[in-house]
Structure 1
Amino acid sequence: MSAKQEDLGSSQPDMTSKTSASTLPPPEKPNAIQTRFKVVAAFWAVILFLGFPIWWKTTSIYRAELPIQEMLDWAGGKSCRPVFPLEIRIDTPSLPDVEAQQLLRLTQHTLDDLNEFSAHHLRLKLANEEAQQTAVRADTALTVRLQAQDDLPSLRSELHAETTMLDIFYSPSQIPPPSSSNSPLASFIAAELQRLFAEEKAIMAHILSSNAVGNSAPSSNSQAQQISPQLAESITKRLRRSMKYAETYHLAFSLFTPGSAPSSWDIESAVQEYISPVIQELSPISNFTVDTQVQLYASFSPTTPAPEFDETYGVWTLKEENLSAFINAAEWPLNPSIGSGPTINFILYVPAPSQSPLVVKESKATSWIIPQWGGVFILNPPLPTTEDSDKSNLLHLPRDALRAPFLTFSHQLLSLLGTPSTPSSLPFRLQTLIRIRAATLLLSASSTTGSLARLTESLPSIPIPATVASSVATTLSHLSFACENLRNGQFQAALASARVAETEAERSFFEKSMVGQMYFPDEHKVAVYLPLLGPIGVPLILGLLKEVKRVVAGWKARRQGSAS
C-alpha cells in the first residue's frame, strides 16, 4: 500500500467525526434547561393542585350513610313478627260479674284450643272493664251482646248488618255454674267467632306465607294447609283481581251508548246515594275522587264479535270468552290514570233498542268485573211502546233506573279493593280490610327497604342523596310504629303508620338520581375520559420522564465526580 493510500485511510475517521459533530444540536444552555423544567413543573403543579381536586370534587359521588343491616333485618322478618290480637268485647247486661267472668274464661279457653294460627288470635274482654283500661287501648273488632230469652229452644246468633255487633240469644238455664269446666254456651260463642273470622284468618295466613316473614311462616303454612280448597281458591281469585294498594284512587263512572240516547243521567244523586256511603266507610283506608262522563255513538271494537240473538230466551248474548274485548280502548275515551293514583273504571253500557236485552250467554248476567281495571254493567232499558215513551224513557236515565247499576258498582268497588266476601256486615268486612291492608303495607315496605339495601351494596357507584337517607329513616321509624301498633291491637294506627312507611320506601327506592346512575357503568366513564386525556396526558408524561432522566443523570455524574 502506498503512502498516499495510507494518508487517505487515516484521514477518513477524522472527516466522519467532523461531519457528526457538525450535525449534532448545540448543547442546551442552563437557562433553557431551567425554563423547560419550570414549564413542566408548572403544568404538573396545575394538574395536581388545581385540576385533580376540581375533578375529584365535581365527579365524586355522595353516598349518604344508610342503616343497611337494620334494613335487611326488616326485609328478612327479624325486626318484626306481625301479630293480630283482636279484642272482642263481651256485653253481659243480665249476668252477675262472677258468672260473666266464668263464661269469659271458658269461652277464651275454648277459643285458644280451636285456634291453630298463633299470629291471629281473639282476646275476650268484658264490656264493663272500661274503667280498668290502660293508656294503650286496642281497637274493638267485634262486640258480642248476650241477650237472655226464656224458653229458647236452642242457641241463636244474629250479626247486625250495619254495625260490628253480634247478638247471642240464650236461655238463662244455659249459663255455666262457677265450678263448671265446660259450657255449651261458651262453645257456641267460640264457634260463632271462629266462623266469623275464618276468612280473615285464611287471608292473613296466605299473606304471611307468601312473604315468609320470620317465625310466622311455619304457622301460616300449617294454617294454609287446613283451609278448604273452595276458600283457598276464592282467596286466590280475589287477590288476583284486586288492585294494588294506593293512597288515592280515582273512580271514573262512564255512560256509553251506541246511539244518541240516553244523553244524560242523574249521576250526582246516584253517586251521592249509592257510592258516597261506601267511600265514607273506606276513608280510613284510602282517599277517593270521582269523575263522570257521557259518550254517545260508542260502538264496539271491529275485532269484537257482534252479539248473537238467542231465540230460546229472546235475548241478545255475548260470549264470556269475548268479554275481555268488550271495552273499545282504541275509541272509547278512558284515561288509564288520572293524577298520581290508579283509576278504577265503571262502565254503564246502554245497548241499542235493536240489540236489547243484552246479556252474557253462559250466565245470563248483565255485569262483570275486569280484574285490576274496573267493572261493567249492561243496562237494558224497557222496550218502548209509543214514540212518546221512547223519548221519555231513553233520553234521560233517572236515579231510580241507576239504582241497580250503582249498587252493583259499589259491590264491584269493594271486590276490586280486596274486601272479604264474608260476613254480611259491611263495617265488619271493612275492619277486616284495615287489618289486611296494614299487614300488606308493612310487608311491602319492609321488602322495598331490603331491596334498596341490596341495591346500594351491589352498585357502589350510584349516589345516595341525603333525601334517600331521610326517607329510609322515616320508613324504619314508621315500620316500628306499625309493628308496635299491631301488637297492641291498634289496627287503624298501624295502617296509618304503614301507609307512611310504604310511601317513603317507594320514594327512596325510585329516587331519580339513583335510577339514572344504575344504567351508567364504569365502561362508559373510560370511554368518555380516554379521548380527552390521551392527547393531553402523553406529552405531559413524556416531558416528565425526560426531566426525571435528566435529573437522575446529573445526580449520577455529580456522584461519580465526587467519588473520583
Structure 2
Amino acid sequence: MTTINGDQASPKASAATKSSTARVPPPETSEAVQTRFRVIAAFWAVIVLLGFPIWWKTTSIYRAHLPIQEMVDWDEGKICRPVFPLEIHVAAPAMQISESQHLLRTTQHSLDDFNEFAAHHLRLKLANDTSASNANGDQTAETEHEAAEERADIALTVRVLPQDDLTAPRSEIHADATQLDVFYPPNQVPLPSSSNPPLSAFIAQELQGLYSEEKATIAHILSGETAGSDSESISRRLRRSMKYADTYHLSFSLFTPGPVPSSWDIEAAVKEYLTPLLDAFAPISNFTVDTQVQLYATFSPMAPPPVYDEAETAWTLKKEDLSAFINAAEWPLNPSIGSGPTLNFVLYVPAPSQSPMLVKENRASSWIVPQWGGVSLLNPPLSEELSPSNPKHLTQESLRPAFMTFSHQLLTLLGTPATPSSLPLRLQTLIRVRAATLLLSASSTMGSLARLTESLPSIPIPATVASSVSTTLTHLGTTCSSLRDGRFAAALASARVAETEAERSFFEKSMVGQVYFPDEHKVAVYLPLLGPIGVPLIVGLLKEVKRLIAGRKARAGA
C-alpha cells in the first residue's frame, strides 16, 4: 500500500483552489448596482403610478346608484296596496231630494254589508238627471263634460225610474253604454223610517251581480285566489288570454284546400266589423292588422281527417283533434311580427266535397286556440250546378258571420270578462284588471332587479338603468294614487309606462352580457399577459429588497 503524504498532495490542492477562485465573477461596482436599482424602480414606478391607474380606470365597472330598499318595498307590497273605488252615479228624477238621499244611504249600507273584498268597493253618489241636463243646452253639457274630467271616472250611471204596471223592481242594462235603468212601482218609494227598503236591496243586489266577475278577477290577481264560486271560470279565462302587451298584431288568413275562393273583401270587412272594436280598445292597447290568402292549403298528414257523419249530414272534426287542425309546417303563419305578440285568426273554407264541416261534439264552426288565436270554418252555400264549387270571391256580407266570431274571440284572447252584457262596462273592467296586472308586474320586476344587482356585484349598472328605475318608481306611485282616486284610465296609462321602463331596465344589454362573464374568465385572460412580465419584475424586486436588507445588517454589524 502506497501512502501519499501531505507534502505530495499540497501542490494539487493549491491548483484547485486557484482554479475556483478564478471562476468567481468580480464584485459589482457601486455604479452598476445603482443602475440596476434605478431600472427596477423605473419599471415599478411606471406600473404603480401610470399602468395601474390606467388599468383601474379602463376596467372598473360603473354602478349607478339604485334605490334598492324602495325597489324591494314595492315588490313586497309595502308601499302600495291597490284599491279600486268605483264611483257610481244614481239619478232618481222622479223622487224628492230627501227620498233620493235616503235611497242612496240605504243602498250604500246594503253594498257595504255584501262586500267581502275590501280592495274593491262601490261608492254611490247622487247625480242630476242626464236628460234634464242635456235639455239645458250645449253650453251646460260642455261645462259638465269639463267637470267630469276633473273628478274620478264614472264607472256606471244608475237611473231609478217609476213604472206603473210593475209589482216588483226590474233592471235593464244598456248594451252600448255604461248605464243601468232600474224600474220600480211608485208605491215602493223608500220611506224615511225604513232602514232596508226593498228597492235599495234590489239595486244593491243588481250592482253586486254586475261586478262579481270583476271582483273575483282582481282578487285572483292580487292574492292568487278567487273570491266566490267562479274560481274555475276565472282561472280558465286567464289561462286562455294573452299576456298584456302595448301593441298586438292581428293576422287574418284565408285558407282553402283548392284554387277558390282566391279573393275576399277583407279591407271593407275589417273596417266595418272590427275597427269600432279596436277603437274602443285604444285606451288599453294598440293594434296593427295584416292579411293573407293561401290557396291549396291542405291538412297536415299527421292530423286526423274529417269524418262524414250521416246523422248530422256533415263532415265532422273531433274536439280532441282540433289542436292538430293548424298545419303549422306548411301554412305560412308567422308566429311573431315586430315587437308585440301576434294573434292569428284563420278563416278556413272547406272543399265542396267536405262541406259543411263542423265540430262533432257541439256542432260549432269555430274555436279558440289559447294564447294563439282563433279558427272559423266558413261553409258557404253551394251553387245548384252539376259540379258545385266554392265562390271565387268572398263578399263583405258573406264575411260578416266569421268576423263576428273573430270579434268575440279577440275579446276572449285579450282577457275581457264575460259579464256583464254591456261592452263598455266590460272594457272598463279590463282597464282596471290590466292596471292591477301591470302594477304588480312592474313592482315584481323592480324587486328582481334589486336582488340581481345585490347578488352580482360585478355587473355594471349604467346610468340608463338608473333613469329607467327612477321613471318606473315615479309612475308606480302615480298608478297607485290614481287607483286610490278612482281614475282608472290614468292609472292604466301610468302603469303602461312603468311596465315598459321596468322591462327596459331589467333587460339592459350591458348588464345581461356581464352576467355570463365571471371572474374566472378574467383570470384566464390576464395570466398569459402578465405572467411573462410580472415574474422577472417581482424576482428583481425581491433581489433588490434582499440586497438592501443585507447591506443594512452589514452596516449595523460594523
TM-score category (smaller protein): over 0.9
Q: Structure 2 counterpart of 1:166, which letter?
A: L
Q: Distance in 1 between matches of 2:155 and 2:382?
A: 49
1:124 match:
124
1:261 aligned to 2:235? no
CA RMSD of aligned residues (A): 2.0
Match of 1:535 in 2: 532
Match of 1:186 in 2: 200
Mapped partners of 2:279, 2:455: distance in 1? 45
Partner residue, 1:383: 382
Match of 1:292 in 2: 291
Aligned to 2:70: 70
Match of 1:140 in 2: 154
Query: Letter of the aligned partner of 2:404 in structure 1?
Result: L
Q: Greater CA deviation, 13-22 or 357-366?
A: 13-22
Deviations 1:364-416 (A, max 9, x none): 1110000000000010121221279x57x610001111011000000000000
Partner of 1:484: 481
The equivalent position to 1:517 in structure 2, one of 514, 517, 536, is: 514
Residue 552 of structure 1 is aligned with which of 533, 537, 549? 549
Give the total of aligned pairs: 544
Identify which range, 122-131 or 81-90, moves more after superposition.
122-131
Q: Which residue of 1 aligns with 2:350?
A: 351
Q: Given the two structures, how large is their TM-score scaled by the length of structure 1? A: 0.93
User: What's 2:139 paired with?
Assistant: none
State the AA in 2 paired with 1:361.
K
Q: Matches of 1:8 and 1:328 in 2, distance apart?
A: 111
Displacement of 1:16: 3.4
For 1:176 and 1:334, locate their aligned partners in 2 and report how far apart those are by CA, in whole Å.
61
> What is aligned with 1:337?
336
How much has 1:269 moved relative to structure 2? 1.2
Cα distance, 1:135 vs structure 2: 9.0
Q: Counterpart amino acid of 2:465?
A: V
Gaps of 5+ in 2: 130-143
In structure 2, the residue matched to 1:215 is: none
Which residue in the other structure is 1:465 paired with?
462
Amino acid at match of 2:123: R
Structure 2 CA distance for partners of 1:134 and 1:324, relative to 1, 3 Å: closer
Distance in 2 between residues matched to 1:4 and 1:316, nearest whole Å = 126
> How far off is 1:557 after superposition?
1.2
Aligned to 1:227: 228
In structure 2, how many angstroms separate the alpha carbons of the residues matched to 1:122 and 1:4? 126
Displacement, 1:128? 3.4
Amino acid at match of 2:102: Q
Q: For residues 57 and 264 of structure 1, what CA distance do their matches in structure 2 show?
A: 65
Say whether the 8 Å CA contact 2:87–2:153 is kept in structure 1.
Answer: yes
Deviation per CA, 1:141-160, whole angstroms, max 9, x where unpaired? 11000111124211110000
- For residue 402 of structure 1, give the secondary structure of its aligned residue in structure 2: helix
Q: Secondary structure at the match of 2:398?
A: coil
On the 8 A contact 1:434/1:491 being kept in 2, the answer is yes
Which digits, 9 at most, give the CA deviation of each residue in 1:10-47, with x for residues without a partner? 44554333222111111112222111111111111111
Equivalence map 1:135-534=2 (5 Å): 137-210=151-224, 224=226, 227-228=228-229, 231-386=230-385, 394-534=391-531
Aligned to 1:42: 42
1:108 to partner: Cα distance:
0.3
Distance 1:249 1:134 in 2: 31
Q: Give the SS at the match of 1:336.
A: coil
TM-score under structure 2 normalisation? 0.94
Conserved? CA contact 1:147–1:169, under 8 Å: yes
Amino acid at match of 2:291: T
* Contact 1:136-1:488 within 8 A present in 2 as well: no
Aligned letter for 1:227?
G
Residues 436, 135 of structure 1: CA spacing in aligned structure 2 closer, same or farther, 3 A cutoff? closer
Structure 1 distance, partners of 2:3, 2:257, is 127
Distance 1:310 1:401 in 2: 26
Given that 2:262 and 2:293 are in contact with CA atoms closer than 8 Å, whether structure 1 keeps it comes out as: yes
In structure 2, how many angstroms separate the alpha carbons of the residues matched to 1:23 and 1:522? 50
Measured against aligned partners, the alpha-carbon deviations of 1:235-283 in whole angstroms (never above 9, x if no partner) come to 1111001000000001010000011000001111111111111101100
Instruction: Give ranges in structure 1 of 5+ residues lacking alignment.
Output: 211-220
Most deviating of 476-485 and 16-25: 16-25
Separation in 2, partners of 1:371, 1:2: 113
On the 8 A contact 2:173/2:422 being kept in 1, the answer is yes
CA distance in 2, matches of 1:82, 1:184: 33
Tell me if the contact between 1:485 and 1:494 (Cα under 8 Å) persists in the aligned partners: yes
Equivalents in 2 of 1:3, 1:384: separation in Å? 139
Contact in 1 for aligned 2:93/2:128 (Cα 8 Å): no
Paired letter, 2:37? F
Q: Distance in 1 between matches of 2:316 and 2:6?
A: 127
Percentage identity across paired residues of the two chains: 70
Shift of 1:2: 12
Task: Quote the Cα distance in structure 1 between the aligned partners of 2:8 and 2:44.
Answer: 55
Amino acid at match of 2:77: G
> Secondary structure of 1:123's partner?
strand
| Post-superposition CA distance 1:321-353 (Å, at most 9, x none) | 111111111111111111111110000000110
Q: Which amino acid aligns with 1:541?
A: I
Q: Distance in 1 between matches of 2:8 and 2:234?
A: 115
Contact between 1:145 and 1:168, CA under 8 Å: does it hold in 2?
A: yes
